[in-house]
């Protein structure tokens, strides 16, 4: 059973919840959660995911590419080069745009859940054909809008999502040459996992997804809006199919997009009906790994089954599952605190929320640490867990976090310290800084160690005077934070 967490939230409880549900927080936000019960705290994080305004779109989201192949041969290479430059420039801008959204959203699970679905329905822009950033943007908005919505609806929409059509070659799939990529990943990675389908199911499913296109060129398929999926009915297989042992009816005279969409709905319905337990447990285990622990124990299987039943009982609504998990005794237990390795997104956004760091620097460090937004390593997404902290990435992360801090001015550091209660009291200041950045409540030994870093050998009573001297106080705070980011505790969640 997943018993509800009974007591009101302490500061340590609030920090744990916010650290797992958001990418960044502050002492002021933490204090606002202290004293709430888990129901009201989690309900707020879930409700805000839906009610927060949609982020402002980049300026290029409705701008298509030139149809380079219609130009004179002498001009084609120049335009192709321009297309590829736009692909990378705009996708890199989109990565920085998303990092900023992660930092701004301190009061909801929206960004964490959007990233969860991006890692589940993996799509990347760096492929052979130019993946317009406008397609990646629209997929990101799809994940935002349905991050806590209905999984059935999310499956139906991702099947003809423009970025997915590009990434898994769906835009080239025709009735005479069905492409099996999406059909296979729909089962293997998105719903059931390996071992619950046959090769015939993959082949028959591929026929359902034939004929879908998306236009990124200003002079092509002018009758269809840019970046919106549409059906070329001449390339769709309207014959009946046998999928997971059930018939998807065909048609010989009503060959329309409406019928093709209904085929997709029927196929998704077959998966969710005939493989209901398998699908629900597959998704709920991924949510468990994401929010609680990347390596579930054998005894966690029963808890995952409980979540899976909630998923099925609520007609595939995602929100009740996340709610039950985040409100549980298990989630708030000491046993699961500090057992996750922070993702690069959590690491970078978590610290740069507090300090002034340029967007391209943040994006480069996150990429080098192994998590490039919009460009995961392969169709299975990021392996995560211990892959986030190896002999290369951990020293690099420590180095760059130190550079982030060292790059601040001393007045900026003094202003940053202003968020903490009684910042003139070195004991309380150290305790709150460590609570903010460490996954577990600091020990007496840790508090003493970092107080020495802060004071530099001076007695406690000198700290208020040091703090009043901007150059001295700011410098000591820098040294404290540079020392703190070297600790393994900083890199756990």
Band (242; pLDDT cuts 50, 70, 90): very high
Band (223; pLDDT cuts 50, 70, 90): confident
User: Pairing between strand 241-243 and 229-231?
Assistant: unpaired
Gap between the Cα atoms of 120 and 290, Å rounded: 11
* Residue 68 confidence (pLDDT): 85
Phi–psi pair at 356, nearest 5 degrees: -85, 105
* Residue 120 confidence (pLDDT): 98
**Whether pLDDT at 70 is above 90:** no
Closest CA to 401 of 484, 493, 491, 485: 485
* Residue 24 confidence (pLDDT): 96
Dihedral sign for Cα atoms in the order 257, 263, 269, 272: negative
**Whether pLDDT at 85 is above 80:** yes
Tell me the H-state helices in 191-230. 199-208
* Residue 222 confidence (pLDDT): 80
Residue 69 tokens read as 């192949």
Residues above pLDDT 90, as percent of the chain: 91
When mean pLDDT is compared across 38-47, 123-132, 198-207, 421-430, the lowest value belongs to: 123-132
**Whether pLDDT at 465 is above 80:** yes
* Residue 279 confidence (pLDDT): 98
- Say which residue the tokens 């950045």 belong to: 437
* pTM summary value: 0.97
Band (238; pLDDT cuts 50, 70, 90): very high
Note whether 213 and 171 are within 8 A (CB). yes
Gap between the Cα atoms of 463 and 179, Å rounded: 67
Residue 243 tokens read as 């999928």
Gap between the Cα atoms of 418 and 415, Å rounded: 5
Note whether 131 and 29 are within 8 A (CB). no
Give the three-state DSSP class for 150.
strand
Closest CA to 477 of 427, 429, 437: 429
Neighbour tally for 359: CB within 10 Å: 15
Residues above pLDDT 70, as percent of the chain: 100
Give the three-state DSSP class for 65.
strand
**Whether pLDDT at 1 is above 80:** no
Note whether 218 and 64 are within 8 A (CB). yes
* Residue 66 confidence (pLDDT): 87
Give per-residue pLDDT as tens, 91-109.
999 999 999 999 999 999 9
DSSP secondary structure letters along 1-35: --PBP-SPP-HHHHHHHHHHH-S---HHHHHHHTT
Q: Name the DSSP class of 491.
A: G
* More confident position, 15 or 70: 15
Q: Name the DSSP class of 461.
A: G
* More confident position, 127 or 351: 351
Neighbour tally for 380: CB within 10 Å: 12
* Residue 69 confidence (pLDDT): 85
* Residue 230 confidence (pLDDT): 97
Closest CA to 337 of 15, 3, 8, 16: 16
* Residue 347 confidence (pLDDT): 97
Gap between the Cα atoms of 14 and 28, Å rounded: 11
Closest CA to 365 of 487, 485, 489: 485
Per-state percent for the chain, helix, strand, coil, to nearest 5: 60, 5, 35
Residue 382 tokens read as 């990021």
Non-local (6+) Cβ contacts of 449 within 8 A are: none
Gap between the Cα atoms of 397 and 389, Å rounded: 9
How far is Cα of residue 310 from the mean position of the Cα atoms in its chain?
23
Give per-residue pLDDT as tens, 389-438.
899 999 999 999 999 999 999 999 999 999 999 999 999 999 999 999 99
- Say which residue the tokens 């922070």 belong to: 342
What distance, in Å, lies between the first and last C-alpha atoms of the chain? Answer: 24
* Residue 145 confidence (pLDDT): 96
Give the three-state DSSP class for 231.
strand
Gap between the Cα atoms of 11 and 227, Å rounded: 46
**Whether pLDDT at 312 is above 80:** yes
Give the three-state DSSP class for 353.
coil
* More confident position, 274 or 298: 274
* Residue 476 confidence (pLDDT): 98
Mean pLDDT of 474-480: 98
Give the three-state DSSP class for 385.
helix
Band (387; pLDDT cuts 50, 70, 90): confident
Mean pLDDT of 120-144: 94
Gap between the Cα atoms of 365 and 378, Å rounded: 20
Gap between the Cα atoms of 272 and 267, Å rounded: 9
Give the three-state DSSP class for 485.
coil
Gap between the Cα atoms of 333 and 337, Å rounded: 7
Band (384; pLDDT cuts 50, 70, 90): confident
* Residue 51 confidence (pLDDT): 87
**Whether pLDDT at 54 is above 90:** no
* Residue 386 confidence (pLDDT): 84
Query: Which H or E element spans position 212?
Result: strand 212-214
């Amino acid at each position: 059973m997943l018993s509800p967490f009974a007591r009101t939230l302490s500061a340590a409880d609030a920090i744990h919840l916010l650290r797992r549900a958001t990418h960044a927080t502050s002492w002021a936000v933490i204090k606002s959660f202290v004293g709430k019960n888990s129901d009201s705290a989690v309900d707020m994080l879930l409700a805000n995911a839906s009610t927060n305004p949609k982020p402002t779109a980049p300026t290029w989201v409705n701008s298509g590419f030139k149809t380079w192949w219609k130009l004179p041969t002498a001009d084609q290479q120049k335009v192709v080069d321009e297309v590829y430059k736009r692909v990378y420039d705009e996708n890199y801008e989109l990565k920085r745009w998303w990092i900023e959204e992660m930092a701004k959203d301190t009061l909801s699970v929206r960004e964490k859940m959007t990233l969860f679905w991006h890692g589940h329905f993996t799509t990347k822009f760096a492929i052979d054909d130019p993946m317009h950033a406008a397609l990646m943007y629209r997929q990101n908005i799809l994940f935002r809008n349905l991050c806590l919505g209905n999984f059935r609806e999310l499956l139906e929409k991702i099947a003809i999502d423009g970025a997915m059509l590009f990434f898994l070659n769906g835009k080239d799939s025709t009735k005479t040459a069905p492409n099996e990529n999406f059909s296979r990943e729909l089962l293997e990675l998105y719903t059931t996992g390996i071992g619950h389908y046959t090769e015939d199911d993959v082949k028959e499913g591929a026929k359902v997804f034939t004929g879908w296109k998306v236009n990124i060129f200003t002079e092509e398929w002018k009758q269809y809006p840019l970046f919106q999926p549409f059906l070329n009915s001449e390339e769709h297989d309207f014959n009946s199919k046998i999928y997971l042992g059930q018939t998807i009816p065909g048609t010989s005279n009503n060959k329309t997009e409406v019928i093709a969409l209904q085929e997709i709905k029927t196929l998704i319905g077959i998966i969710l009906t005939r493989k209901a337990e398998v699908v629900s447990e597959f998704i709920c285990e991924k949510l468990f790994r994401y929010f609680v622990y990347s390596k579930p124990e054998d005894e966690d299987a029963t808890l995952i089954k409980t979540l899976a039943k909630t998923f099925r009982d609520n007609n595939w609504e995602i929100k009740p599952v996340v709610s039950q998990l985040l409100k549980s005794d298990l989630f708030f237990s000491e046993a699961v605190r500090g057992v996750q390795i922070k993702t690069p997104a959590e690491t970078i956004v978590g610290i740069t929320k507090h300090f002034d760091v340029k967007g391209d620097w943040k994006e480069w460090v996150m990429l080098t640490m192994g998590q490039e937004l919009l460009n995961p390593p392969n169709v299975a997404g990021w392996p995560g867990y211990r892959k986030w902290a190896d002999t290369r990435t951990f020293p690099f992360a420590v180095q760059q976090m130190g550079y982030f801090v060292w790059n601040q001015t001393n007045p900026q550091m003094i202003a940053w310290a202003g968020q903490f209660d009684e910042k003139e009291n070195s004991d309380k200041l150290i305790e709150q800084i460590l609570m903010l950045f460490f996954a577990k409540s600091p020990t007496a030994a840790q508090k003493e160690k970092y107080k020495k870093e802060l004071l530099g050998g001076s007695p406690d009573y000198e700290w208020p005077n040091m703090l009043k001297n901007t150059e001295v106080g700011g410098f000591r705070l820098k040294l404290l934070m540079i020392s703190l980011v070297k600790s393994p505790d900083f890199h756990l969640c």
